[in-house]
Amino acid sequence: MDGLIILDGSGRPIIQSNFRNHPPSYPLSIVDAFNDALSKTLPENRATRSVDSGDLDPVLYISSTASGPAICCHVEKGGLRFLCPASQDIDPLFIFAFLERFLSVLQEYLQDISLAVLKEHFDVVYQVLEEMLDDGKPLTTESNTLRDIVLPPSFFNKVLSVAGVSGLSNATPAPFSSPIPWRKAGVRHNKNEIYFDITEDLDAIMARNGTLLSSTIWGRIDCNSRLSGIPDLNLSFINSKAFSDPSFHACVRLQKFAQTSSLSFVPPDGNFVLMEYQVSPSAVTRGSTAMSNGGLQNQLLNFVPLILKSKIEVGEKGGSFTFTVTPRSGSEQLKHRLGVENVVLSLGLDSGAIGAFCTASFNSGGQGFGGSRDKEREERAAGVWAWEPNKKTLRWTIPSLGSPSASSTWTLKGTWTSTEQVPRPCRSIMMHFQTPHMLFSGIKVDQLRMTSEMYKPYKGVKIASKAAVEWRW
Amino acid sequence: MAFNNLAENAERLSRRIQESFQERTRDFTKSGQASYLDANDLDKTVNLSKLLDSTSEREKLDGLKRIIAMISKNRNVSAYFAQVIKNVASPNLEIRKLVYIFLLRYANVEPDLALLSINTFQKDLADSNPLIRAMALRVLSGIPVASIASIVAAAIRKCAADSSPYVRKSAALAIPKCYNLDTTHLPLLMQTLSTLLKDRSPLSIGSVAIAFNAICPDRLELLHPHYRRLCKMVADADEWGQVQLLELLTRYARKMLSRPPDVSAPEELDEANPGQASHEDHELDPDLELLLTSASPLLQSRNPAVVMAVSRTIYSLAPVKERRKFVLPLMRLLHSSKEVERVTLENLRVVAQASPEMLRPHISRLYIRSSDITQVKQVKMRILAALITPDNAQDLLREFKDYVVDTDDKLVSDAVWAIGQCALKAPDVSSSCLSALTMLIRSSNDVAVAAAVLALKSLHQCRTSLTGSLNVVASLASHFDNISHPEARACILWMVGQYARSSGQGTTPMPANLQAIEPWVPDILRKAVKSFKSDPSAVKLQALTLAAKVFVLAPSHEQSCMLARYAFSLARYDLDYDVRDRARFLSSLLAGVNGGVSSGLGSDEQEVDMQEGVILRTPQVIHVLFEGKVAPSDEGRWRSGVLDLGTASLITGVAMQDDYLRQLPDWPDEGTDSSLRDTQDDTPAPFYSQPSLKLQGFGAESIGNFSRPGSTLTTPVVLTPGDSSPSSSVPKPGLAKPHYMDLDKFFASDEEVASEDEEEVTEEELEAEPQTKSTNVATTVAPHPVSVASGGHTSTEGHDAPQPTRESDDEYTDEESDEEDAFLRRG
């Protein structure tokens, strides 16, 4: 890595690290090359219709800079672009891992990453950057250690700095005094709390005939620790056999996990990702042990509480479509009366699409609403549709499924117009939905035990699951 | 009315109050810093000097922030250099840091002025705060002035023996900087590096690996005595260090250890299945096994770069049968972000092409989503195409058929090509592949049509038996009118010509009439000639070839010959010289057939010339025109050449500078003697006695020691002897020292150190130091640059003088770092 450059929304550098071993024109040529590549993907400059604005290669090759050929890895966040050029061979994953860490540290320091916030605290950004990246090598990247040497901006610090007192010289008497690299020394909290957020994502692809082509469930445990001292925790789970191929924060003792499937760790202070895992499909077949592969697929299918039937007809300069959504009777969510929320269906239309018009309707399947007030309710239940001209996407949102009967149907009917002679809409419809209070894997936190500190910590656990299902039509 | 007035007044008043309140609190709420970056505030440069010279820390800080903001805006602020540098010894850490940032950027602009600050940094190197020591070294080594290289080298050497692993880490990172500054200091730097290699703190070892890779990447033999310890330390190093260390150790293993038993030598690797090597008899090198078992747990790291580094290690070192285990962890990365996904897939592609069986079980996870970014779609397509077998061809064919309606044209053409690949690799599904391809010819998408024609062409060429009779060509030909894509049109014309010979006739050498060609061929020629004028050059060239072929196959068919002659006369006056040239070439070739293709066009001197050359007989012409067509290989479709995992050139397809440094050498014919790696360390050391280092996770007993850091810190007597201290240079095997010194000995040794080196100040003294020191600096720096420069010089000498005796520093121990080491050891 040679350094880091932060660009604002219009492609101008606002903050950049020191490029010590390179001529001053080097970062400039990187920025130019990046802006050039970016502008080529913008809709108005598009050479072919196939490339859209999201498709800038994350690793750009820049053949001529002041220091010879280079690669430029970049990520986007909060409307800003973070570029990391490298003129020597390096694993791009190394750069992306660093960028990710840098952004999460910034997030923690500034709460929000945006142009205004960065400009407001540019001195902090400079200091953090200086500590994290020394001549292109990652130096101190643990946020707990960083907070010892660069003070996060806070109202208190501002008062201090206005009063002409530096917080750093007296606030942290002994940087690097902690025996654990990821945890600050001498942490004190009035309330001792720790929160676990377990989220699972289902990624699935549905074939035209409604069978499951591919599905993966990813899980992640975010943790926010506000515990004093050096707490040594042990977190155990129910149904932990569902964890497959996990990855851990450096604080987790791998050996313990291998032996007992429980997490034993001394947490860093603050927010961190404790663990990420995949859910092994065999572990979610609740109860029934011996199942054929087909049965397994059906089981997974039951995590998708809705069935989508779509009919899309493409004509000259436009087309028409009908989406029909019905509940899947055997699905886990409906069986256990769990709320399914934020169902979003989106269809990318062709690049020449100008507009769409549709009507959304809901048929409760017999129970029926009557009267004007119920009409309102019915309209709400049918969801809202929107046309997003920038992304050329049609989006239909059903805020909540409520408790549908087997014959309930949601329908979206409409047409769209396009400048293309033969429009080519996206070949699949994306369906997103959330099920709070449920995990696909059936994993539950069993108990949290703490040794080495005297107090009793408060433990909070929140679970939620999301799904992104691609329906091909 | 009156009421209205009153209300208006009240409103105005309240706005006023609010404004003034905002004015007053602005400093608190916003402190107005954002404007530093925004405003075009050249007028403020006037008071900038005042701010920097101010005695108030707050104003200084404000001034420095403005300066940094101006640097950000690429303004030249070198005019303030002297004023900024003056603050380098400020007791306020924040001010110092901003000065450091400034200094590092401007030192090469004003090298002479930058030298003024060196004095301060040398003092800071002895500061009690490890943060200040490390920062001083970082800035010192960052000043790009070659004349101070010797000072920097000496400072690095001093810091390499520091008690804080953080400072030692900075020392390691400073080595490459110093080396870049002046390569003549290599011997000293190497010496420092070998001291650092002995470092037992996992915090600094990663940076040592960086330094090693930077200054002496080829001196792998230096690692012999450290190899085993480094392997065991990998799990405890910080994430970035793990990546560097794994890379170094992998290179070492490839150079020094013997090949795993089931990996055959490279020359066999190409054709033979690597699993069936002849080395079944001998075992996996235990040192290699050590590296692999130490690295494997890191597959569970949260850091994608570490996972990739371990994968690379396993992929390039492990026996074939054990390689599989990195596949799932790599797949896990696909979920993290689209950037990581894109890079990881490129690596999986290498795996897919080299050993497809490793990925086949997970194939459904590589199916292409319509929401993937273009680059991801392309790589996934390559992977899927590499994984086709007769078993999964059915499923993949169904997938590919879905992809041909994608909105991404590149994916469409790749998918069509892949359908052709299915037909080649899985004869069972070839008929459905063929029907899919012929369906595609009627598609409304040009790209799909062109790709389908090309796929059919290469299929037809590779396996004529597969496409059976001529009906593929015939059906393609029947769509000639509807196809507008130039490449597809050219391709159809070529195929019509190439397969024009009537199937009934087989290999009849001398066709004499229309029966020799398929009945529909002349019609295609007619169409080609008709649209000749408007077709692009690529189509024109193929039209000429078709004309020539028809001419030679059916010389007696009057209409065809006239069409051919017409085509040649059109081509003769074409705008494109390639077309004219081709026409001339073909008509020369055909000169001996049926009176030549140019006859009847009026004789010119060209025809006279031709009479003098060699004239081929018809069979010869047929041979020239039809034979020797090599079926196209699809290798060139995508740049291939299996590259190494985890490199940038894998993504860009272009070699980077200095990439040879990362390239792995081939296995040696014979590994080096393992006794080279035997060290005293192998005999169980107090902290390394537990063999279960391969799994990280520190035991409960070790945590017990450190749950009360205060209590351990306040018992200074519990010092480990110099032997096992992190900075001890040479382990002294003979002396079985006790683990704990008694108090008298401790003080005795302390005195020794103090007497040997005056600069070594005890911690307590240093606590009181900063105040006095800062005043010293304030008096020395600034008003008279000349005197300061000389002062700096003398101090440099003063610093250099005690150097030779500094070996004794190795006895210096520190409970803090030891404690930390022990804590990290997750045995």
Same domain? For A116 and A15 the reply is yes
CA distance B652 to A65: 16
CB contact under 8 A, A348 and B170: no
Closest by CA to A105, choosing from A79, A84, A128, is A128
pLDDT above 80 for B592: no
Chain B hits for A235, Cβ within 8 Å: none
Q: How confident is the model at residue B502 (pLDDT cuts 50, 70, 90)?
A: low
Asked whether residue B213 is domain-assigned, the answer is: yes
A130 near B CB under 8 A:
yes
| Contact (CB<8Å) A89/B661 | yes
Number of domains in chain B: 4
pLDDT at B325: 86
Q: Is residue B408 part of a domain?
A: no
pLDDT of B493 over the 90 cut: no
Cα Rg of chain B, angstroms: 39
Best to test chain B binding among A21, A247, A297, A449 (most B CBs inside 10 Å): A247
User: Which burial class, exposed, middle or buried, applies to B396 when counting CB atoms under 10 A from its CB (0-12, 13-18, 19+)?
Assistant: buried
Tell me whether residue A276 is in a domain.
Answer: yes
A10 touches chain B (CB under 8 A): no
Domain boundary among the residues B209, B236, B263 is at B236
Higher pLDDT among residues B510 and B554, named by residue:
B554
Hey, are the CB atoms on A246 and B300 less than 8 Å from each other? yes
A257 contacts chain B (CB < 8 A): yes
* Longest CA pairwise span in chain B (Å): 119
Q: Is any Cβ of chain B less than 8 angstroms from the Cβ of A144?
A: no
Residues B605 and B734 occupy one common structural domain: no
Whether B12 is covered by a domain: the verdict is yes
Residues 63-102 of A with CB under 8 A from B: 63, 68-69, 71, 73, 75, 86-94, 96-98, 100
Residue B314 in domain: no
B455 domain-assigned: no
Higher pLDDT, B95 or B609: B95
* Chain B residues near residue A97 by CB distance under 8 angstroms: 239, 303-306, 340
Whether residue A314 lies within 8 A of chain B, CB to CB, comes out as: no
**A122 to B36: CB separation less than 8 angstroms, yes or no:** yes
From B655's Cα to the closest Cα of chain A, the distance in A is: 8
Nearest-CA neighbor of A170 among A152, A151, A185?
Answer: A151
Which one of B640, B661, B678 terminates a domain?
B640
Average pLDDT (B485-495) is 84
CB pair distance less than 8 Å for B131 and A350: no
Please compute the mean of the pLDDT values over residues A441-457 and round it to a whole number. Answer: 86
Q: Are A166 and B816 inside 8 Å of each other by CB? A: no
Identify the pLDDT of residue A374. Answer: 66
Q: State the pLDDT at residue B27.
A: 45
Quick one: A209 and A261 in the same domain? yes
Q: Do A467 and A412 share a structural domain? A: no
- The pLDDT value given to residue B722: 37
Residue A336, in any domain of the structure: yes
Q: How far apart are CA B164 and CA B133, in angstroms?
A: 9
Give the residue on A whose Cα is nearest the Cα of B409. A50
pLDDT at B36: 66
Residue B33, min C-alpha distance to chain A (Å): 5
* Res. B577: pLDDT tops 80: yes
Put simply, the answer to whether B337 touches A120 (Cβ < 8 Å) is no
Classify residue A179: in a domain, yes or no. Answer: no
Structure tokens given for B240: 């970035």
> Are B513 and B611 within one domain?
yes
Place of tokens 């690299």: A181
In terms of Cα–Cα distance, which of B601, B596, B600, B572 is closest to B584?
B572
Alpha carbons B318 and B254: distance in angstroms, whole number: 11
Q: What end-to-end distance do the CA atoms of chain A give, in Å?
A: 44
Does residue A110 sit in the same domain as residue A208? no
Q: Is the Cβ of A7 closer than 8 Å to some Cβ of chain B?
A: no
Strand duo A341-348 + A384-388: pairing? unpaired
Q: Among residues B541, B300, B718, which one has the least CA distance to residue A277?
A: B300
Tell whether B540 is covered by a domain. Answer: yes
**Average pLDDT estimate for B600-610:** 46
Residue of A15, A179, A214 with shortest CB distance to B365: A214
pLDDT at B701 over 50: no
Residue B505 has pLDDT above 60, yes or no: no
Q: What token pair was written down for A465? A: 């699951």
Q: Are B146 and B182 in contact (CB under 8 A)?
A: yes
A-B C-beta contacts closer than 8 Å: 322
Q: Are residues A260 and A311 in the same domain?
A: no
Has residue B670 been placed in a domain?
no
Please list every residue in chain B whose beta carbon sits closer than 8 Å to the beta carbon of residue A185. 709
Q: Can you give the CATH number for the domain in which B56 is found?
A: 1.25.10.10
* SS3 label, residue B531: coil
**Between A51, A249, A254, which is nearest B302 by CB?**
A249
Q: Find out whether A3 and A27 touch, Cβ atoms under 8 Å.
A: yes
Residues B46 and B156 in one domain: yes
At B257, list the tokens. Answer: 């250890």
Which residues have a Cβ under 8 Å from the Cβ of A393 and sit 6 or more positions away? A346, A347, A348, A349, A387
- Rounded (5°) CA angle A319-A203-A340: 80
* Closest chain A residue to the Cα of B656, Cα to Cα: A89
Interface contact A451-B700, CB threshold 8 A: yes
String of DSSP letters for B8-73: HHHHHHHHHHHHHHHHHHHHHHTTTTHHHHH---STTHHHHHHHHH-S-HHHHHHHHHHHHHHHHT
Per-residue pLDDT at A195: 93
Name the percent of chain B lying above pLDDT 90: 1
- Looking at the fold, whether A365 and A465 belong to one and the same domain comes out as no
Q: State the pLDDT at residue B598.
A: 60
For residue B631, the model assigns a pLDDT of 62
Q: Lowest mean pLDDT: which of A366-370, B295-299, B426-430?
A: A366-370
Residues in chain B: 827
pLDDT of residue B703: 37
Check if A281 contacts B (Cβ < 8 Å): no
Q: Same domain for B527 and B627?
A: yes
Contact between chains at B329 and A247 (C-beta distance less than 8 A): yes
Count of CA atoms in the C-beta half-sphere (13 A) of B680: 12
pLDDT score for B808? 41
Q: What's the average model confidence in pLDDT over A119-145?
A: 84
Query: Closest approach of chain A CAs to the CA of B248, in angstroms?
Result: 13
Nearest-CA distance from B246 to chain A in Å?
A: 13
**Does residue A180 fall inside a structural domain?**
no
Same domain? For B727 and B629 the reply is no
Domain assignment present for A174: no
In a shared domain, residues A62 and A153:
yes
Q: What is the mean pLDDT of residues A314-318?
A: 84
- Please tell me the distance from the alpha carbon of residue B266 to that of residue A43, in angstroms, as a whole number: 48
Question: Collapsing DSSP states into helix, strand and coil, what is residue B301?
Answer: strand
The answer to whether residue B123 scores a pLDDT higher than 80 is: yes
Same domain, B80 and B2: no
Residue B157 has pLDDT above 70, yes or no: yes
CB of B381 closer than 8 Å to CB of B418: yes
**Do A453 and A361 reside in the same domain of the chain?**
no
**A56 and A158 inside one domain:** yes
Look up residue A216 and give its two tokens: 């993966």
pLDDT digits (tens, 9 = 90+) for B763-806: 444 444 444 444 444 434 344 433 333 333 434 344 443 444 33
- Cβ contacts of B652 on chain A, cutoff 8 Å: 59, 61, 71
Q: Is the pLDDT of residue A29 over 60?
A: yes
Which strands form A409-418's sheet, in the order they lie side by side? Answer: A306-315, A318-327, A409-418, A353-363
Which pair of structure tokens corresponds to residue B86? 């003056």
Verify whether the Cβ–Cβ distance B297 to A185 is below 8 Å.
no
- Chain B within 8 Å of A276 (Cβ-Cβ)? yes
Structural domains counted in chain A = 3
Candidate from A174-183, A297-306, B223-232, B315-324 with smallest mean pLDDT? A174-183
Specify the range with the lowest mean pLDDT, choosing from A119-123, A322-326, B689-693. B689-693
Same domain assignment for residues B26 and B44: no
Print the domain residue range for A48.
Answer: 5-163
Whether residue B159 is contained in a domain is answered as yes
**Confidence (pLDDT) at A199:** 93
Q: Are residues B626 and B740 in the same domain?
A: no
Give residue A356's identity as a one-letter amino acid code: A
- Which of the two residues, B705 and B252, has the higher pLDDT score? B252
Choice between B217 and B746, residue whose per-residue pLDDT is larger: B217
CATH code of residue A339: 2.60.40.1170
Is the per-residue pLDDT at B819 higher than 80? no
A176 part of a folded domain: no
Interchain CB distance below 8 Å, A427 and B402: yes
State yes or no: pLDDT of A319 exceeds 90.
Answer: no
Which residue matches tokens 């720790």? A194
pLDDT of residue B607: 47
Alpha-carbon distance B363 to B360, whole Å? 5
Same domain, A449 and A385: no
Percent of chain B with pLDDT over 70: 65
Q: What would the pLDDT profile of B325-361 be if each residue is shown by its tens digit? A: 888 888 888 888 888 999 999 889 888 888 888 888 8
Helical (H) or strand (E) element with B686: none
Quote the CA–CA distance of A42 and B643 in Å, as a whole number: 32
pLDDT: is A267 or B680 the higher one? Answer: A267
pLDDT of residue A461: 92
**Any chain A CB within 8 A of the CB of B343?**
yes
Q: Do B27 and A59 touch (CB under 8 A)?
A: no
CA A127 to each of CA A132, B62, B771: distance values in angstroms, whole numbers, following the listed order: 9, 15, 24
CB contacts of B687 in chain A (<8 Å) are none
Beta bridge partners of A341: A400, A434
A454 and A362, same structural domain? Answer: no
Three-class SS of chain A: CCCCEEECCCCCEEEECCCCCCCCHHHHHHHHHHHHHHHHHCHHHCCCCCCCHHHCCCEEEECCCECECEEEEEEEECCEEEEEEECECCCHHHHHHHHHHHHHHHHHHHCCCCHHHHHHCHHHHHHHHHHHEECCEECCCCHHHHHHHCCCCCHHHHHHHHCCCCHHHHHCCCCCCCCCCCCCCCCCCCCCEEEEEEEEEEEEEECCCCCEEEEEEEEEEEEEEECCCCCEEEEEEECHHHEEEEEECCCECHHHHHHHCCEEECCCCEEEEEEEEEECHHHHCCCCCCCCHHHHHHHHHCCCCEEEEEEEEEECCEEEEEEEEEECCCCHHHHCCCCCEEEEEEEECCCCEEEEEEEEEEECCCCCCCHHHHHHHHHHHHCEEEEECCCCEEEEEEEECCCCCCCCEEEEEEEEEECCCCCCCCCEEEEEEEEECCCCCCCEEEEEEEECCCCCCEEEEEEEEEEEEEEEC
Residue span of the structural domain in which B822 resides: 687-826
Strands A353-363 and A137-138: unpaired
Using pLDDT thresholds of 50, 70 and 90, give the confidence band for residue A179: confident
Q: What is the pLDDT of residue B810?
A: 42
The pLDDT assigned to B650 comes to 77
| Mean per-residue pLDDT, B25-53 | 58
Check whether residue A222 and residue A108 sit in a common domain. Answer: no
Residue A183 placed within a domain: no
Q: State yes or no: pLDDT of B721 exceeds 60.
A: no
**CB of B155 closer than 8 Å to CB of B168:** no
pLDDT tens figures, A193-206: 999 999 999 988 88
Q: Which residues of A touch B65 (CB under 8 A)?
A: 122-123
Among A429-433, B93-97, B523-527, the range with the most confident prediction by mean pLDDT is A429-433
Closest CA to B145 of B174, B172, B112: B112
CATH of the domain at A138: 3.30.450.60
- Model pLDDT for residues B60-99, shown as the tens digit of each residue: 778 888 888 887 777 777 777 777 877 777 777 788 888 8
Q: How far apart are CA B211 and CA B213, in angstroms?
A: 5
What per-residue confidence (pLDDT) applies to A196? Answer: 93
Of B151, B131, B132, the C-alpha closest to B141 is B151
- Pair (B49, B189) in one structural domain: yes
Name the 3-class secondary structure at B657.
strand
How close B483 comes to chain A (CA, Å)? 16
User: With the C-alpha atoms ordered B779, B781, B784, B788, is the resulting torsion angle positive or negative?
Assistant: positive
A170 belongs to a structural domain: no
Find the angle CA(A266)-CA(A271)-CA(A272) to the nearest 5 degrees: 65
What pLDDT is attached to residue B307? 92
Q: CA-CA-CA-CA torsion for B41, B45, B46, B48, nearest 10 degrees?
A: 120
Indicate the average pLDDT of chain B: 71
Q: Please say which residue of B236, B267, B288 terminates a domain.
A: B236
pLDDT score of B696: 39
Select the residue of B104, B409, B662 nearest A89 (Cβ to Cβ).
Answer: B662
Question: Is residue B600 domain-shared with residue B726, that is, in the same domain?
Answer: no
Q: In DSSP terms, which residues pair with A383 in a beta bridge? A: none
Are B789 and B760 part of one and the same domain?
A: yes
